Each structure stands twice: as C-alpha cells, then as structure tokens.
Structure 1
Amino acid sequence: MITVRTGAYSMKPASLHRRILFPLLLCGGLLFALLFWYFSPFFSPGENRRFSAYVEERFHSEVTSSAITLHYTLADPASRGIAPGTASFGTVSIPYRTSYDALLQSVETTLTSFHRNRLSAENQITLDLLLYELDCEKMPGSTSLLAEPLGPSLGIQAQLPILLAEYPFRTQQDIADYLHLLQDLPRYFSDLIALEQEKSRQGMFQNDLAVDGIIRQCSAFLADADTPESHLLHTVFQNKLQASSLFSEAERNLCLQTHEKLLTSCVFPAYRSLSDALSSLRGKGTQNAGGLSRQEDGLSYYAYLLRSRVGVDASPEELTRLLTQQLADQCAEMQIILDQNPSLSLSEQALVLPFSTPEEMLADLQNAVSEDFPVLSGIAYEVKTVDDSLKDFLSPAFYLTPPADINSPNSIYLNPADEMTGIELYSTLAHEGFPGHLYQTVSFSRSDPLLIRHLYAPSGYVEGWATYVESYACRYAARNLDANTQALCRLWYLNRSVHLTLCSLLDLGIHSQGWLLSDASAFLAQFGITDASAATSLYQYILETPANYLKYCVGSLSFSQLLSEVREQEGDSFSLIGFHEKLLRLGPLPFPLVEKYL
C-alpha cells in the first residue's frame, strides 16, 4: 500500500574538516599513513557526514509523509528527532510529468554532488540504490495514470482494514494518532475518488470486473455498519484497549465511545462514498480491452514496474525466454522423478510429515537452515491466528515486518480460513519465517543499516528471496524420512513452481503481448488446465496486478542464477553458507546492484 516517491530535499551545510595535531612522539611513518588515509580521495569523513545528513533528512521527509508509513517503520519516532504531528494518510494527487521532472532534477543534482569514491562502503551502496531509484522515477511510466491504488486484490481499500486493525498501541500518542487517521479517512478517500475520476476521463479506468470486486469488498466491510459495536475494527480496537495498561477504565470507555462515533461519522461514510463513486464510473474506462500493452503508454508503465518493483533490467522478451526455459527444466525434472517413482501421487494424504503444529514446523526449520544458511541465534517470534473478523480480508499467511528501530515483535499470522496442513503449511512457514521473510529481515536489521534502506526494499528481492528458499524447505521437510517421501516433496515443490512460472508467463503475455482471455485460456490448455472459470479468474487477477507474479518468480530465478554464477566462478572454494551470508548482508537491492556488490 505504501508507495515512496523521490522528492526534492534541501541539504545541510557540510561539516568543516578539522586538522588534528598529533603528538611529536607519533612515528613519522604512522603519521604519514594516517594523514594519507584521512585526506585520501578514496575516503572523506566530511563527505560521509554530508551524505549521512542528506540521507537522514530524506528519511525524515519520506517516513513522515503518512502516519501509516511512520508508525509501521518506527516505534519511537522521537528518538530520531521526529516530533508528533497531526496524523494523516498523506496526499493523493494526479501526477504531472513536468513538475515531477523538476523535482527529480533537484534530487539528481544533490545525489551527483557526492563523490562516490570518498564514501564508506555502506554509503556507496545506499547512494547507488538512490540513484537506481532516481533512474526508475525518470522513466516515462513512473507517472502513468495506469497505476492503480484501488483493486480487489491489493488495493488500498482492501489493505486498510488490516493496517488499521494491526496498528500497534505502544503509547497514548499511538492511540491518538489512530483516531486521527479515522477522522482523516473521508478526506483521503475523496482524493482517491478524484484520481479515479481523472483516470476515467482519460480512458485509463479499470475494468468492470475489478470495479465490481471493489464494490463487493466495500459492501462486506459495511455489513455491520448498522451495529458499529460489532464491526471488526471496533471489536479489534476493544480487545487491544483491554489488553493495554495505558488507560484507566474511564479513559478506556471514552476511547471506545470516540471510536464508535468515528466509525459511524467518518469511516463508514468514506467507504460508502468510494463505493458510490466507483459505481458511477463503471463502464466508463477502456481497460476492459485487455492488458497494459493495449493501453496508451501501457508498455512504458510495464517497463517501469519491471525495473522498479521487480528490480531487473531485463526486457519482457528476455524474461519470457528465461521463464520458458525454466518451465521446460521444471517439467523435465518432474518427468524424471515420475519415471523413477511411477507410484508417486501428489495428493496431500500421501505426504505425511512428522509435525503436529506450526510451532513444531518453525522450530524444525530454524534448526535445519544451519545446513545452508548462517546461524542466527536469539530470534524471538510468535505464531498468531488471524482474528475471525479479519480472515476474509487476509492472505493464507503473512509476516508482519516489525519497526526498523526495534526489530520486534516478529509475528507470523496464519489464516484459519485456508486450513493449510502438511507440506503446504511447512513451505508457507519457510516462506514467511525461516529462512524466508522473518530470517532475512532480522539478518539484515542486525547489520544496522541506514534507516532509509527500509523504505527502498524492492519487492523482487524480498519476495524473490522468500520464494527462492522454498526449494530448501521442501528438502528439509523430508530430510529424515524415506526416499519415497523425499521424492514426493520435491515433486510437490516442482508442481508449485510450475504453477508460479505459468502465471508469470501469463503476466508477460497479457501485459507485454496483448493476450486476451482466449489467448490465456489456450496457453493454459497446453498444460492441461482447461477449467474456464479458473482461467477467467486468473486472467482477471493478472489484469488487476501487473508484474505481481514476477516479483516472486523472476526474483527467485535471479537468486538461482546468481548462485550458479558464483558457484562456477569460485569452484572448489565455493561456500553456500558464505554465498547466502553475502546476500543477506547486502540486504534488499535491485538485482543489478546485488550482482555488482556480490
């Protein structure tokens, strides 16, 4: 939900160098070496201070653009010099290329003023990351009205109930900010409506099926509007207040009354207004015609998504070639396993693992990862069950990233609506936990990176890593079991990977080649997928979420390619644990930068 855009930032004056007079007892050779180091063109404390000041100021500006961004990034903003302000969702505005280019030029002037070879290694990486982000924002597609903040799958209106329900109450100020956000929602949704109206005027409004999905979500959210005391936001708010020691009983009751009033006067009317506005726009867009390549400037927007979100420089044609080869390799390996084990069945009943709870699976994963990944000790985490009032809004499982300044709590949420068991649950917990999101997040945070790195974490790296490690998890799951179960686990993983690769190829076909539903259905039929309803649902999802599957699939493939390249280069000296340690230490970066610094 949170999108960070590059803006213009003023610079603080650089600190002046101070000449240090060394004691005469200091030997001449050491004195010369120290002076050479200090004044060397390859290192400058002054340049590093100037860069740090810029990065800190930029971080402050971006993290305070929205109370949601601030609250989910920092647990204690005051410790970073950020004073409390009136909480809001930030602004939604219609993008204009000319004015945005002027802002980008200001940023470029500042970034290129830094002498890269005088910066520390960490600052060089951060500078390269900011320059990469700048180059992405300079692409024509960065200001496209085809960017869609609303949507049945990943839209703001779908994510907002979760972000509000999970909003942690650490201090009284947090609760005050949360209530201010509820009050700000009508203004925020009004901005979104104005944007959608402009998109409709320019023929870039989303298709009717997507609109219908959003309207259904709004209706579901408003189902308990006549009884606000039983609405999911109110019951969750009440539970959190009861678990908190921040207020007296009288203050707690006042908060509940205020919350109920804000739901009826602000939150529910905002969702009704959004639903009504979208209903009035239904049928007025042109996106019913198909994917991005069929829209004006659609290909430039897709190129922007590939570079900025997936984090790769490859063209759609190159990605199609790579994924087609991956699909062939996956299918070939599946056939080999089936030929060697003709009695194998992919049914869940045939794959029994020796674990009875998610906690047992995570404990097993935490032990098993030491075979291939650096050991991380002292990681506290908790497995939570999604509240019944939220289960219809949430994915099967998710890891809620902790604030960057405290790196806790580490919580993995499981949705009881999906009833995952066996290898599916084990693999999902690996994706969300060890050695997936939780493990990667904690590992990177322990390197004490600049806080701005947490705002620029390409989804291709983050989701690609969690998908890449699933192959290890399926091996761990059956490592102490018989050969038949081991083969079955590998077959299950390959089948899952084939599905992801097919979806990614569909994404490329729909958005870069203009595939219609008939084309997508014909493609799926080649692989035995002939259910018309399934094809329609998948086609519609990909229309609504361009490049989303590629974050997982291309991201994972990029890590696998890096592994092959490094293993070949290092030969007998190659260490898989060492390879993973380098990747984790670098942290989330676009893949061209990962390759550069690996």
Structure 2
Amino acid sequence: MQNTYKVCQQYEDKLKAFRYSHLSTENQMTLDSMLLYYHTEKSLGDNYLLQEPLGPSLGIQAQLPVLLAEYAFYEDRDISDYLNLLTTIRPYFQSIIKFEQKKSQAGFFMSDATLDRILAQCSAFIRNPDENYMLDIFRTKISDYGKLSGSEQQTLILTHQNLMKTEVIPAYQELMTGLEALRGTGKNPRGLVYFKGGKAYYLYLLQSQTGTYVPVKEIEKRLSRQLSSEIGIVGNMLRQNPELLTTLNKGISFTEIRPAQMLSSLQKKISSDFPPLEDVSFELKTVHDSMKDYLSPAFYLTPPMDTGTPNVIYINPSANYQGLELFTTLAHEGFPGHLYQTVSFERQNPSGIRNLLDTSGFAEGWATYVEPFAYEYAADYILDSSASDLARLSWLNRSINLCMYSLLDIEIHYNGWNQAEAASFLKAFGIEDSTVISEIYQYILETPGNYLKYYWGYLSLLDLRTTEQKRLGQDFDMKDFHRRVLKIGGMQFPVLEKYIDMIE
C-alpha cells in the first residue's frame, strides 16, 4: 500500500503540472475527478487492513461467477483468455487468504456470523460440481460463437470441465478452508468505529465509494430532515384517504405484464422527462438457483467499453418481485436507470480513463433518483381509481426505508450503535420482528456505506436539481437538467456540482 500511495502522489503531482486554463471543459472535469480520486486513495493511509474483499452478497467470491458467466467470446483469443483466467482464481484467492490472515493478526477479521454467511455462499456454488451452472453457460457460449467445428467445441468443453474441477472448485474449497482456520479471531461484532482507525476508514468509504465530501454530521441532519418530511407527507395522505392504507396492506393490483414488456414500456414513457435514446437492445436473464440466495434482487452488468453490448439485466427469482415492485426495479436497472445512463454516457465517446474511475455514488444515486419517476409511470398499470396516490405512497415508503437504513449505517459504523439501539430505532417505525431486525443489522455491518451510495447519491442529485431550479427559475427544464447530468456522467458530487451549469 505504501507503494500505491507513492504512485498516487506521483500522479497527483503530474496532474497538477497541467495548465488548467488551457484544457477543454471536458478535460478540466476529468482532471478534477482524477485529482480528487488520487487524493482520496492516499487518505486510506494505515487503515487499509479494514478493507474487506469478501462478503455474502457483494464480495468478490459471490460476484465472480456471474462476471465469468458474462465473459464474452468475440474471437478465438477471448476463449483462450477466459480459460487462462480460470487458472488465476486459485492464486488470487490465496492472496485474499493471506490478506485475511493479516487482518486477523491485526484484530480486524470478520465476525463468525459474517464468516458463516460467506462460507454458506461458497458452499452453495460448489455443491454440485458436475452440474455447476458455469458448465452449461460455457457450452451455450461455445455453440453460439459459431466459428468452431463440433470436435473443436467438444475439446474446449472438456477442457473447461477439467479446469472447473481442478482449478475453480478447489479455489473455493481452499478459500473456505483458509477462512475457517481464522474462525473466532474476529473480536468485533459491531460497527467500524470499534476498530482502530474505524472512523477515519468510514470517512474514506463515504468519499471513495459514495463520492461525497460532506461532513458526517451534515449528512445525518439532511437524512433526518428528509425522513421527517416524508413521514409528514405520508401522514397527510393517509388522513385524507385512509382507504389507501387498506389497499397497500392487501397488495396493489397490477396489470399482468412481462419483464421485457415493462422495459419496453419504460423506454417510451421516459421520453417526457429524459433525453431520447434510440436503438438500445437489452437481454434479461435469471440468476441461477445456486446463487439466488446470495445475490441482489436484480442487477445490471456494464457492457465492454469497446462494444457497448450486451446490456444484461439479471432478475433474481428468490426476491419474488412482481407487479409494481418489479416494474420500478427494472426502471432502476434499465430505463431510465443504470442501462440508460451507461449507454447515454458511452455514446458521447468519453475519454477511456473515465471508465476506470469508481463512481458508485453517482451510479446508484442516479438509479435511485429515477425511481420516483418510475413510480409515476407505473400508475398507468395500477388497477385502482387511486392509482397515482398509491404509486406515490409506494415510492415514499421505499424512500423512508432507504433513509432509515442510511441513518442506521451512520449510527452503527460512525456513532457505535449496537443491535439493541438499532432495534429501538426500527421499532419507532413499526419494525419489531427480531429476525428482520437482526438481518438488517447484520447486512449493514457487512456492507458499510452501501445504503448511502443509493440514498445519499439520490439526495445529492435531488438537491442539485433544487439548486438549479432556484438558479434558473422559469427557465428550468427537467429534461435539459437530466441531459446535462448525463453528459457529465459519473463523477464525485463536488465535481458534478461545479460543472453542472457550465455544460451546454
């Protein structure tokens, strides 16, 4: 890490040597973003052992099979690269074990509860090696490749089967063995603040992952204001029309419509609020049974930057999303969410370096920011005379939940709340089931800052829109605001805010 920090400093010095006034606006934005990126990476300092590459759902061991399944074959070299890549998983996992051993020695290893969840995910993936879903996917991709004879395909299929049995499955087994040997060495079952350097590391996470540089206390106040405001709005709506709550509790009746039809409908409906985006294709896939208990309800995979396709959205059947919930989830992942934002930006032919800068807060913030629009669009499919109010209430309910969890993230990791304090907070909002509370607390422990990427990212864009509305008055145009945000693309929020009114 010390070498990494030296490189960051060298890059920072080199970037500062550019004559700022001689750069185009686009290059000024890139320069500002890179300077902030390298400065933030250096701020990690001695706290690098608090980083955690593993996790039950967001860890690399859970994400890797999906990423490998989507490895595209365009030419023969891609197939050999993929097969060679499988042989690197074992040494890669061995390096992770060494890192986890160092974490253990420093007193930073995960709790046994988290360990159990990671081991269960690994176990599910390797449970039936002869029926592993990566085998079927490889066969299909080799067949679809269309440039190989039957005997060549069979040879590659057998090679792949052998690599799965001799490299990939053993890699997961060794990872499980290495982690099991560290059981009991994780002494902190609570938030980051109870680790040495934990508070500073939490700030680093907010800056590097969420892209915000607002003080934590200010974030806390803004979240509290939003929570109070939305609870007030919900209260007024229910006082004026108590029947809405009855309908919500029974379940909202939604027109029967397939996921692909939902995405096609969204492509048309967003035209009133967002710039047009023509000729966009997408693929819908289902998460394999062996992974469904450990992956998100849905997710979009960014396509290779040199092809722009395929745009793949995975739906996880274990979430059992249907109707309104599925419609708005597909908006988050598809139109006008991740897929739409990604394709819009890439069609501007940005500098390649922009694809390497991590902007999770912007990406997830944008996909959450578009959700209230999606709930409005969904009202056309709600089978009720109060469709608009039901759609709005549903969004407010989701927003309140995300806001609560974001506040909990701060209270647990920065202010040190234990599970009992978290339970007391959740009880005030009607969440009293001990199993649910335990799951919420455990998830936030395992994914510090994750909810803030979504919700603080959303609020940052919402507040930026409010600022622009005040600045432009009657000249403010929603579609044009979205066009300017999309043109700037994924940036840390201070950079986005600096340039939003400079974009033509």
Q: Give the structure-1-normalised TM-score.
A: 0.81
1:201-280 pair list within 5 angstroms: 201-225=105-129, 228=130, 230-280=131-181
One-letter amino acid of the counterpart of residue 118, structure 2 = I
Could you tell me which residue of structure 2 aligns to residue 83 of structure 1? none
1:348/1:377 CA distance change after superposition, 3 Å: farther
Could you tell me which residue of structure 2 aligns to residue 311 of structure 1? 211
Deviations 1:335-384 (A, max 9, x none): 11111211113547642333521222222211111111111122222333
1:50-69 pair list within 5 angstroms: none
Structure 1 CA distance for aligned equivalents of residues 211 and 45 of structure 2: 15
One-letter amino acid of the counterpart of residue 151, structure 2 = A
Structure with greater Cα Rg: 1
Deviations 1:278-298 (A, max 9, x none): 11101112232x111111000
Structure 2 CA distance for aligned equivalents of residues 568 and 465 of structure 1: 21
1:505-516 pair list within 5 angstroms: 505-516=407-418
Q: Find out whether 1:106 has 2:22 as its counterpart.
A: no
Structure 2 CA distance for aligned equivalents of residues 520 and 205 of structure 1: 23
One-letter amino acid of the counterpart of residue 451, structure 1 = G
One-letter amino acid of the counterpart of residue 440, structure 2 = L
Deviation at 1:389, TM superposition (A): 5.0
Structure 2 CA distance for aligned equivalents of residues 374 and 471 of structure 1: 17
1:268/1:385 CA distance change after superposition, 3 Å: closer
Q: Note if contact 1:348-1:422 (Cα within 8 Å) is conserved in structure 2.
A: no
Structure 1 CA distance for aligned equivalents of residues 326 and 249 of structure 2: 11
Q: Find out whether 1:454 has 2:358 as its counterpart.
A: no
1:82-161 pair list within 5 angstroms: 95=1, 97=2, 99-140=3-44, 143-161=47-65
Q: Find out whether 1:434 has 2:338 as its counterpart.
A: no
> Quick one: which of 259, 264, 280 aligns to 1:363?
264
Deviation at 1:497, TM superposition (A): 0.9
Could you tell me which residue of structure 1 aligns to residue 490 of structure 2? 588
Q: Note if contact 2:57-2:295 (Cα within 8 Å) is conserved in structure 1.
A: no
Q: Which runs of 5+ in 1 are unaligned?
A: 1-94
For structure 1, which segment, 348-357 or 415-424, has the greater mean C-alpha deviation from structure 2 after superposition? Answer: 348-357
Could you tell me which residue of structure 2 aligns to residue 534 of structure 1? 436
Structure 1 CA distance for aligned equivalents of residues 217 and 45 of structure 2: 18
Deviation at 1:387, TM superposition (A): 4.2
Specify the SS of the correspondent of 1:193: helix
Structure 2 CA distance for aligned equivalents of residues 142 and 486 of structure 1: 52
Could you tell me which residue of structure 2 aligns to residue 26 of structure 1? none
Structure 1 CA distance for aligned equivalents of residues 435 and 251 of structure 2: 28
Could you tell me which residue of structure 2 aligns to residue 444 of structure 1? 345
Deviations 1:22-57 (A, max 9, x none): xxxxxxxxxxxxxxxxxxxxxxxxxxxxxxxxxxxx
One-letter amino acid of the counterpart of residue 324, structure 2 = I
Q: Note if contact 1:355-1:361 (Cα within 8 Å) is conserved in structure 2.
A: no
Deviations 1:279-333 (A, max 9, x none): 1101112232x11111100011100011111011112211111101110111111
Specify the SS of the correspondent of 1:495: helix
Deviation at 1:104, TM superposition (A): 2.1
Could you tell me which residue of structure 2 aligns to residue 499 of structure 1? 401
Could you tell me which residue of structure 2 aligns to residue 78 of structure 1? none
Structure 2 CA distance for aligned equivalents of residues 536 and 574 of structure 1: 45
1:407/1:179 CA distance change after superposition, 3 Å: same
One-letter amino acid of the counterpart of residue 312, structure 1 = T
1:573/1:211 CA distance change after superposition, 3 Å: same
Structure 1 CA distance for aligned equivalents of residues 406 and 51 of structure 2: 19
Structure 1 CA distance for aligned equivalents of residues 351 and 47 of structure 2: 28
Could you tell me which residue of structure 2 aligns to residue 404 of structure 1? 305
> Quick one: which of 253, 263, 268 aligns to 1:352?
253
Could you tell me which residue of structure 1 aligns to residue 98 of structure 2? 194
Q: Find out whether 1:558 has 2:457 as its counterpart.
A: no
Q: Note if contact 2:73-2:79 (Cα within 8 Å) is conserved in structure 1.
A: yes
For structure 1, which segment, 148-157 or 551-560, has the greater mean C-alpha deviation from structure 2 after superposition? Answer: 148-157
Could you tell me which residue of structure 2 aligns to residue 24 of structure 1? none
Q: Which structure is higher in helix share?
A: 2
Could you tell me which residue of structure 2 aligns to residue 182 of structure 1? 86
Structure 2 CA distance for aligned equivalents of residues 335 and 155 of structure 1: 39
Q: Note if contact 1:346-1:492 (Cα within 8 Å) is conserved in structure 2.
A: no
One-letter amino acid of the counterpart of residue 431, structure 1 = H
Specify the SS of the correspondent of 2:313: strand
> Quick one: which of 302, 322, 325 aligns to 2:202?
302
Structure 2 CA distance for aligned equivalents of residues 156 and 551 of structure 1: 18
Deviation at 1:185, TM superposition (A): 1.5
Backbone CA RMSD of aligned residues: 1.6
Moved >6 Å (runs of 4+): none
For structure 1, which segment, 395-404 or 412-421, has the greater mean C-alpha deviation from structure 2 after superposition? Answer: 412-421
Q: Which runs of 5+ in 2 are unaligned?
A: none
Q: Find out whether 1:168 has 2:72 as its counterpart.
A: yes
Specify the SS of the correspondent of 1:125: helix
Q: Note if contact 2:57-2:294 (Cα within 8 Å) is conserved in structure 1.
A: no
Could you tell me which residue of structure 2 aligns to residue 323 of structure 1? 223
Deviation at 1:234, TM superposition (A): 1.4
Structure 2 CA distance for aligned equivalents of residues 173 and 100 of structure 1: 31
Q: Note if contact 1:241-1:252 (Cα within 8 Å) is conserved in structure 2.
A: yes
- Considering Cα pairs closer than 8 Å and 6+ residues apart, tell me whether 1 or 2 has the greater RCO: 2
Q: Note if contact 2:56-2:294 (Cα within 8 Å) is conserved in structure 1.
A: no
> Quick one: which of 270, 279, 282 aligns to 1:378?
279
One-letter amino acid of the counterpart of residue 309, structure 1 = Q
1:446/1:142 CA distance change after superposition, 3 Å: farther
> Quick one: which of 313, 337, 346 aligns to 2:237?
337
Deviations 1:166-200 (A, max 9, x none): 21222211111111111112111111111000110
One-letter amino acid of the counterpart of residue 580, structure 1 = H
